[in-house]
Amino acid sequence: MGMNARKRIYLDINPADRARLLASATAYATGRRTYVVGAVSDVIAANAGRLDAAVRETLADAIRPAADAGDSIDAPAWTRALAALETAAPDGSDGLDGSPVDLRILLFCAFRHDMGGDAGLWTRLLEDPTALDGQWRAISARDLYEAGYAPDGAPEPPIQHLEPLGDVDDPAWADVYLALVGGRR
């Protein structure tokens, strides 16, 4: 992630990965009734013009039930994101733009949603040592460790953690874990 002049972070990712991050984060955040809703919806709104029409429609379909639910906590944030998706002027810029805090939260949400599914996006993001900061890496390693994705004999995550709550034999996520903690198979 690189800092630009507006004190915002720019995550240099391709359009398909950008769409996947936003979809995964949205799926995780809907119905949470926490701060993650505001962060995810703010990043969606800020980047709506960078998304093609099909991605905007897919996100709008995922957000609309939460915006229409009338929940006093979540609905205003989702309504803003929905309005941005529906009215966005095309913006051919690359990457994903947002505040450092909002992008970190978006990445956490997308990662937690994807854990146990397809690890391909996270493998690609971890190939760029500047894409994900050390704090994000440490917390995500902890999440994988506690979910049982750390392979036998792998180093423990660098932050406080619980004992593994399971033993999941998934080589793709084991590789993501090892990349997060700097270990090798």
Banded model confidence at residue 4, pLDDT cuts 50, 70, 90: very low
Residue 5 has what pLDDT?
45
- The pLDDT tens digits for 51-98 are 999 999 999 999 999 988 878 889 999 999 999 999 999 998 888 888
Which pLDDT score, from 0 to 100, does residue 8 have? Answer: 61
Per the CB < 8 A criterion, the answer to whether 106 and 40 are in contact is yes
Among left, alpha and beta (phi > 0; psi -120 to 50; other), residue 31 is: left
Q: What integer pLDDT is reported at residue 132 of this predicted model?
A: 79
Burial 102-118 (b: 16+ CB within 10 A, else e): bbbbbbbbbbbbbbeee
Under 8 Å between Cβ of 20 and 56: no
Quote the pLDDT of residue 172.
94
Reply yes or no on whether the pLDDT at 165 is more than 80. no
Mean pLDDT of 93-122: 92
Which distant-in-sequence residues (6+ apart) come within 8 Å of 176 by Cβ?
A: 119, 122, 123, 126, 144, 149
pTM higher than 0.75: yes
Please name every residue paired with 11 in a beta bridge, in sequence order, or none if there are none: 96
Counts for the chain of helices (H) and strands (E), in that order: 8, 3
Q: How far is CA 181 from CA 13, 106, 118, 174, 175, in A?
A: 22, 21, 20, 11, 10
Instruction: Give the per-residue pLDDT at 9.
Output: 64
pLDDT at 86: 96
Q: What is the DSSP string of 75-87?
A: HHHHHHHHHHHHH
Read off the tokens for 16. Answer: 């398909």
